[in-house]
Structure 1
Amino acid sequence: MTLQEERKRNLRKKFKIFAAVFKMLIFLAIIVGIPLYLYFFQKDLINEFSSMENVHGLFEEYKTQGIFFYIGAQALQIIICIIPGQWLQFGAGYVYGFWLGYLFSLIGALVGTVLTYYIAKVLGHDAMHLIFGEEKFRKMVNKLNSKKAVIIVFFIFLVPGVPKDMCNYVAGLSEIKLKPFLIVSLIGRTPGMMGSLLIGRQIGTGGYVSAVVIAAIAVIAFVLCVVFRKRLTSIMNKGYDKLMKL
């Protein structure tokens, strides 16, 4: 290799690193800048989501406008976590009812998932490695490139407490197509969404016993999913090829 070729290679390498850092800084400016803005200049807005009563009051006061705000908040929570979200779906279930609340929740989740999927494509591997760590990110990409991608995605979004943020970005840089990823991730989110909406609806109407029953059913369903995970894995794997053709 000549000296000139070596210089060109080093220049390309430096440019690649610079581009990755630049993209990452833009991304970090968004995910850090928005929370800082809300914290210092919109504290009242954050406080509105500190309790179920506040969320109910906000949605009741701005019922029509609240629909778009709720959808936007749902989408934003998938991209970055800036608003205490434990009461969002409870409030939506109370104000909009179960089915409308579920529809708005799905729309918000769909928008957020599509955005994160394409944000990852725009930023590229290098920026994602800088944000999440190269080894960790590569391992997750390999999992989503495997035959078990669908079942992995399904359980990530089904099981409460499992970190879901990185999965959306990993999907954008893996071999999994957007449509299958959307379908499986939304199916995985559905039980949690429905449970929260139903609990919020029952609490809002004074049905505290029903809310407890729904919560108990959700716990039982989760346990059954864990117990019969092998059978579920088999079923999901059979549908993998069909989904990937979409």
Structure 2
Amino acid sequence: MKIFKKVSYIKILLVLLAFSTIGLIFKYIPNILAATVSLDEFNKYLMSLGKSGSIIIILFQILQTVIAPIPGEVVQIASGYIYGVPLGLLFTMSGLIIGSAIAFYFTRLIGGNFITNFLKKKNSKWLLDIMESKKFSIILFVIFFVPGLPKDFLIYVAGLTTIKPIKFFSILVISRFPWILASVSIGSNIQNGNYLSTIIISIIAMLSFLVGIIYKNKIINKFLEYKYNR
């Protein structure tokens, strides 16, 4: 009985937190988007904050994970530009993990029906299909790893499944790490004047993104075959 009450209190707190977060997002989203449209402006904004800039980097990365409209690459490149690779990577990965935890546990604890109905209304039934596959963990890794595929909302979808949290977050970190490292490295190389490295990394990232966009439907259809041919 005590455990049931404890879970109920946690759900109530999460609901209040979710509504508070949504309210703040709607209030400040124009300013947030305006700050991240230009990399130069975002860099100036962060540098004007001094030591608290690192906290803002983490918060922006959390928001980027929870709500897709914020361009994650701007946040990650700015993090590398101002703080270098080690700290920039630490801040962005921390934000990614915290934001993913919010999305994952929101679905798992209180938002399952909401996410399911949202997927049906948005004609994203393929996400509901792949989560029923026995190869869901592999599919999750591929989607997280390949640029150009829908990533952030898949975190909410993962919360609908029985995947263990430790397994989910391991897949998330391992698959997202290389490309976040690339973005942070671009920012650091720009700051240090290593333009050749910046160009090489940018070309590789751009080509990978284009491949993901061009073959997105084929990859998704391949995933759907896993469900029906398992």
- Normalised to the residue count of structure 1, the TM-score between the two structures is 0.69
Tell me the amino acid that sits aligned with residue 192 of structure 1: W
- Equivalent in 189, 210, 215 of residue 176 of structure 2: 189
Cα deviations by residue, 1:39-59 (Å, 9 ceiling, x for unpaired): 56xx3x543322121122122
> Which residues of structure 1 form unaligned runs of 5+?
1-22, 227-246
* 2:101 is aligned with 1:150: no
1: CA distance, partners of 2:187 / 2:64: 19
> Which residues of structure 2 form unaligned runs of 5+?
1-13, 216-230
Q: Pairwise mapping of residues 1-246 of structure 1 onto structure 2 (< 5 A)?
A: 31=22, 33-39=23-29, 43=31, 45-133=32-120, 139-218=126-205
- Normalised to the residue count of structure 2, the TM-score between the two structures is 0.73
Tell me the amino acid that sits aligned with residue 134 of structure 2: K
Moved more, 59-68 or 214-223: 214-223
Q: Cα offset for 1:120?
A: 0.5
Instruction: Report the CA distance shift for 1:139/1:125 in structure 2 as closer, same or farther (over 3 A).
Output: farther
Tell me the amino acid that sits aligned with residue 26 of structure 2: L
Moved more, 161-170 or 213-222: 213-222
Cα deviations by residue, 1:62-101 (Å, 9 ceiling, x for unpaired): 2321111111111111111353433111110011110111
Equivalent residue pairs, number = 199
Tell me the amino acid that sits aligned with residue 103 of structure 2: T
Q: CA RMSD in A?
A: 3.1
Q: Residues 141 and 174 of structure 1 are in contact (CA less than 8 Å); yes or no, is this contact kept in structure 2? A: no
1: CA distance, partners of 2:122 / 2:80: 40
Cα deviations by residue, 1:95-141 (Å, 9 ceiling, x for unpaired): 11101111111111110111111100233432222222179666535
Q: Residues 119 and 125 of structure 2 are in contact (CA less than 8 Å); yes or no, is this contact kept in structure 1? A: no
Q: Residues 148 and 210 of structure 2 are in contact (CA less than 8 Å); yes or no, is this contact kept in structure 1? A: no
2: CA distance, partners of 1:216 / 1:139: 31
2: CA distance, partners of 1:184 / 1:39: 30
Q: Residues 120 and 128 of structure 1 are in contact (CA less than 8 Å); yes or no, is this contact kept in structure 2? A: yes
Instruction: Report the CA distance shift for 1:208/1:152 in structure 2 as closer, same or farther (over 3 A).
Output: same
User: 2:106 is paired with a residue of what secondary structure?
Assistant: helix
